Amino acid sequence: MIIKTEEELNGIKRVSEAVAITLREMKKYAQIGITTKELDQYGKKLLEQLGAKSAPHETYNFPGYCCISVNEAFAHGVPSDSVILRNGDIVNIDVSAELNGFWSDNGCSFILGDDIKGLQILVDSSREILLEAISKISGGVRIADIGKLIETKAKKAGYTVIRDLGGHGVGRSLHEEPDAIMNYYDRSDLHRRFRKNSVVAIETFISTKSTNIRTESDGWTFTGSKGGFVAQHEHTLLVTGGRPVILTSANEI
């Protein structure tokens, strides 16, 4: 969406704070031995306390309230009583919600307990690349150039990017224009530029092996087409004429 009024700005700020606080507190609540269903129920409770409604549940009838993905699963993971969090797991939580007609989105990957799989550097790279990419976004910047930055930084760190998932506009619905804010340099997309006063969700998908997604048998969960692990970090931000405003900064990514 394009922010045109103070009311709209306050509305997007409120929902962004709600999803950010929920993500931050869910990450703190995650502990060895609980199930992803328990973690999801905690997220549901937090959103309700903040007056927000789960975006995937409301929009897509997703069988949960937050997407929680573990190890090789990295996105759209369905909360389950059978998935127990264990020491060394790489966990991704993605929280998106609606509040008073406004929508926002954020997510992060993290290592639970000890880094026994040696994936902390992957997680750190994903976060650092996201923050650097965000720092370069302003009105008039080409969307493809941000994808190029993400792809270049990932390759320099020894990783690949997932090429069929990306960021998106957000605000009055969960997914808006500009859609497909990709993590690579798309030479066929050299005309689109970020617009001042627009709201976008920017996210990284940094991978150890894969470049595409594979949808698992539940019809929701994404894993990498060539295996390996993926780290994702996401912020919703307001594009300005200078440095963007990170609306979900309360998540402490």
Question: What DSSP line would sit under 113-171, residue for residue?
Answer: SS-TTS-HHHHHHHHHHHHHHHHT--TT-BHHHHHHHHHHHHHHTT-EE-SS-EEEE-S
The H or E element spanning position 213 is strand 213-215
Classify the C-alpha dihedral 35-104-168-205 as positive or negative: negative
Cβ distance 70 to 216 under 8 Å? no
Q: Give pLDDT tens digits along the chain (253 positions).
A: 999 999 999 999 999 999 999 999 999 999 999 999 999 999 999 999 999 999 999 999 999 999 999 999 999 999 999 999 999 999 999 999 999 999 999 999 999 999 999 999 999 999 999 999 999 999 999 999 999 999 999 999 999 999 999 999 999 999 999 999 999 999 999 999 999 999 999 999 999 999 999 999 999 999 999 999 999 999 999 999 999 999 999 999 9
The H or E element spanning position 40 is helix 36-49
Token couple for 20: 């950010």
- How far from 126 is each of 71, 142, 158, 161, 207, CA to CA, in Å? 15, 21, 12, 10, 9
How many CA atoms does the CB half-sphere of 203 hold within 13 Å?
Answer: 33
Alpha carbon distance 190, 180 (integer Å): 13
Classify the C-alpha dihedral 125-166-193-200 as positive or negative: negative
Cβ distance 72 to 33 under 8 Å? no
pLDDT at 13: 98
Cβ distance 213 to 163 under 8 Å? no
Closest CA to 157 of 121, 110, 117, 111: 121
Burial of 49: CB neighbours in 10 Å, binned 0-12, 13-18, 19+: exposed
